Amino acid sequence: MVLLYKKYKKMKAKNIILGGLGLAIVGAGTYFYFKNKKKPSSKILNDTLSSISNSTTTSAQPLADTILATAPVINANAPLTNEQSAINNENLIKFNQAQSLANQISNLRLGIKTANFQFGGDMQTYTNNMTKNAEIQSQIQNIVEQMNTLGYKEVNGLAVKL
């Protein structure tokens, strides 16, 4: 019995030592893996950045001059013409209509969520909810088609121009 105990005690110590060495090796490997790499010297970095900035400024200047020379002159203080004003008013009216339709879609989607949430567990309630949801989906589809004719789509309750 004493021999078995001594043998077990030696084996236990051996396992502890091997486990400790294994952990030390894993720890050293982790240290060297995450150790900071050598950073480039600031002189090399500054030279690279200055060469990049010099090359972009010299090649972009003629292009900018060309664009400015061909750009039309716009007078910000010029009054709007009647045609421009009518177009702006028409666009505003279309946007207001589209936003109103987007609000309707958002409210209808809330109705779908609450109809699904109120499921009571019996078949009659489930059938009623599914019928309501189908009707609401049909209404939403009709409103989406109206918005498309105005040139808008609904995104999260907002009218967005196509």
Q: Which tens digit of pLDDT belongs to each residue from 42-74? A: 566 666 666 665 554 455 556 556 655 666 666
- Tell me the range of 29-38, 85-94, 142-151 where mean pLDDT is highest: 142-151
In angstroms, the CA 34 to CA 154 distance is: 49
159 in Cβ contact with 101 (< 8 Å): yes
pLDDT classification of 10: cutoffs 50, 70, 90: low
- For residue 90, the tally of other CB atoms under 10 A from its CB is 10
84 in Cβ contact with 143 (< 8 Å): no
* pLDDT tens track for 84-113: 878 888 888 888 898 899 998 888 888 775
147 in Cβ contact with 159 (< 8 Å): yes
Q: Which pLDDT does position 112 carry in this prediction?
A: 75
Helices (H) and strands (E) in the chain, counts: 4, 2
Taking the model in full, what pTM does it have?
0.46
